[in-house]
């Protein structure tokens, strides 16, 4: 008789399968599934994250100069041109298997009568391109507004030159949330509600360093009625202590494995 020896990789494969099965079970049992995504979910589509070593935008550019009201007032042209450069980089990028799997998860939840909410910190439109309709708590880089009167600016804004608001002559800027600014109120209220109602909360591709978004997990965990199950997908596990299951994997690889077995 031959006994098959179990190798370390067999063992870790089994552990990964067990973790997937547990998460699938929790999703099947949930009434509300809430997902928070960050820049990491778009990384496999070729959009740089903010804080990854070497490739992260804030490793190479100064956030306070480019993503704050003070920075814009000090050098509006530099800031405008930096966002034009980022828009060009983003505009032809396509959703990856991670975005697609989240849209499938939404459809699965709807078919099972579960509530599903996707909250994204991302200012790109890759979730939308994939069919989802995320709550965008940090705005949308493809849109513009007046920095003074906040009126949306919907005319052509492809120029590298600064644009003045037709209403008040203020400067037009991208519709993203800068450091020190409040999140859009309606979007934040919806995100807060979805976090506090969640039975399963998934945190995907975020370093969980930027508040208040990073506080949504704890908000979900503080729900008193029954425990929320928190799943994190990030090749670099964060220091979030509320996580029940961590997958140290890329979202585009892990999410299809998690979702396909639910829907098939």
CB of 32 to ligand OAD, least distance (A): 23
138 noted as active-site residue: yes
Site of tokens 């078919």: 111
* Helix, strand, coil percentages for the chain (3-state, nearest 5): 40, 15, 40
Query: For binding to ligand OAD (CB under 6 A), which residues are involved?
Result: 38-40, 43-44, 49-52, 56, 67, 121, 123, 138, 176-177, 205-207, 209-210, 233-236, 250-252
Angle at 34 between CA 30 and CA 36, to 5 degrees: 150
Give whichever of 127 and 138 is closer to ligand OAD, judged by the CB atom.
138
Contact 225, 64 (CB under 8 A): no
CB of 84 to ligand OAD, least distance (A): 15
CB of 245 to ligand OAD, least distance (A): 15
Give whichever of 123 and 195 is closer to ligand OAD, judged by the CB atom.
123
Site of tokens 């709550």: 135
Give whichever of 25 and 55 is closer to ligand OAD, judged by the CB atom.
55
Separation of alpha carbons 94 and 42, rounded Å:
9
Give whichever of 44 and 193 is closer to ligand OAD, judged by the CB atom.
44
CB of 57 to ligand OAD, least distance (A): 8
Give whichever of 134 and 252 is closer to ligand OAD, judged by the CB atom.
252
With CA atoms as reference, report the closest residue to 256 among 119, 125, 49, 105: 105
Tell the burial category of 40 from Cβ atoms under 10 Å away from its Cβ (0-12, 13-18, 19+): buried
Calculate Rg over the CA atoms of the chain.
Answer: 20
Separation of alpha carbons 195 and 181, rounded Å:
21
End-to-end CA distance of the chain: 37
| Position of minimal CB gap to ligand OAD | 40
CB of 199 to ligand OAD, least distance (A): 23
Active site residues: 138
């Amino acid at each position: 008789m031959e006994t098959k020896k179990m190798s370390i990789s067999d063992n870790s494969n089994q552990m990964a399968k067990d973790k997937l099965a547990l998460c699938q079970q929790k999703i099947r049992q949930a009434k509300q599934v809430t997902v928070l995504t960050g820049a990491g979910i778009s990384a496999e589509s070729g959009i740089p994250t903010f804080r990854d070593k070497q490739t992260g935008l804030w490793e190479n550019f100064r956030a306070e100069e480019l993503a704050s009201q003070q920075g814009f007032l000090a050098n509006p042209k530099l800031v405008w041109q930096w966002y034009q450069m980022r828009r060009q980089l983003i505009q032809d990028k396509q959703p990856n298997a991670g975005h697609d799997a989240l849209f499938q998860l939404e459809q699965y939840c709807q078919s099972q009568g579960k509530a599903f909410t996707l909250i994204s910190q991302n200012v790109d439109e890759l979730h939308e391109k994939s069919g989802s309709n995320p709550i965008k708590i940090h705005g949308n880089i493809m849109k513009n507004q007046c920095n003074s009167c906040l009126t949306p600016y919907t005319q052509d804004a492809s120029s590298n030159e600064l644009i003045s608001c037709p209403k008040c002559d203020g400067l037009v800027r991208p519709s993203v949330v800068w450091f020190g600014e409040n999140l859009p109120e309606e979007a934040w209220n919806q995100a807060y509600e979805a976090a506090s109602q969640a039975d399963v909360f998934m945190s995907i591709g975020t370093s969980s360093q930027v508040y208040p978004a990073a506080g949504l997990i704890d908000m979900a965990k503080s729900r008193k009625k029954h425990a929320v199950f928190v799943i994190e997908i990030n090749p670099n596990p964060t220091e979030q202590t509320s996580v029940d299951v961590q997958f140290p994997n890329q979202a585009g690889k892990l999410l299809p494995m998690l979702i396909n077995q639910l829907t098939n």
